[in-house]
Structure 1
Amino acid sequence: MEFAGSKLALFVGDKLVTLLRDDLPNIAFADHWDLPGGFAEAGETPEACALRETFEEVGAVLRAEQLCLQACYPRPVGTVAFFAAHLPADAARGLRLGDEGQRMALMTAEAFITHTRAVPHLQDWLAAYLRGRSPTAMR
């Protein structure tokens, strides 16, 4: 299956960067909490897609070596790469909402995983990532 895009579980301190999707009838998971990421541009690698989308959506500037590939998941649109990255808590000062989405919020991973209006497959992907990490690695 062809590469379609990337998603990023971006932790700032012990919080997860989340975005409330626009409430539009023509988009999937409208008015749901999402993670940074999206569709790849022509010729873009999974890492480059994750970096560009994260900058566009929340203003975070990351380097490819800060990304940790967790898995590649088949989706109806194509394969989506799922990454995780961790920044210190003070990086929250540099975050800002881009042109898409209603708002940005920092929430605990547990709050995202259990939220009734979070994108369901991202809840599963995040939970799988957290199961593979030791409790001390979340600090």
Structure 2
Amino acid sequence: MDFTGAKTALFLGDELLVILRDEKVDIPFPGHFDFPGGGREKGETPIDCALRETVEEVGLNLSKTDLVWSRQYDQSWFFVAQRPAQDVQLIRFGDEGQGWCLMHPRDYLANPLAIPNFVARLKDYLSETEIA
């Protein structure tokens, strides 16, 4: 299976966990709101990549059953995961990004600092599940 990486829109209860990207000029969308995820490591499946990146970036150990939706977009995968709101207490922020916060999906979709590709992908999910 050919892909370069994976991202996960992670719902904790009704809100999304978002990461404020670093302000580095050599990364895409510096200072924008991102979801956990990143590049594929050798031999990983898309799910393996998504789960590993979530642990590395926010310290949450998701299981495959937490992933409720997925779709491949070109060379990357986009997942949606659902966990209870109280999992916010388990977050251990990694060393990438300026910080994290919870955001209602509507607020993410309308935020000028939301990454456009992820806005479109989240809209795909919400339109199919009628959560918006």
Range of TM-score over shorter length: over 0.9
Name the residue aligned to 1:104: 100
Measured against aligned partners, the alpha-carbon deviations of 1:93-121 in whole angstroms (never above 9, x if no partner) come to: 10121110001000001111111011110
Counterpart secondary structure, 1:44: coil
In the aligned structure 2, how far is the partner of 1:83 from the partner of 1:68?
Answer: 8
TM-score computed with the length of structure 2 as normaliser: 0.95
- Counterpart contact for 1:69–1:81, Cα < 8 Å: no
In the aligned structure 2, how far is the partner of 1:134 from the partner of 1:118?
Answer: 21
From the superposition, tell whether residues 134 and 69 of structure 1 become closer, same or farther in structure 2 (CA, over 3 Å). closer
Deviation at residue 66 of structure 1 after TM alignment: 1.8
Name the residue aligned to 2:77: 81
Name the residue aligned to 1:34: 34
Unaligned 5+ segments in structure 1 are none
Return the letter of the residue paired with 1:114.
A
Residue correspondence of structure 1 range 64-75 to structure 2 within 5 A? 64-74=64-74
In the aligned structure 2, how far is the partner of 1:63 from the partner of 1:89?
Answer: 16
Counterpart secondary structure, 2:4: strand
Return the letter of the residue paired with 1:107.
M
Unaligned 5+ segments in structure 2 are none
Residue correspondence of structure 1 range 123-138 to structure 2 within 5 A? 123-135=119-131
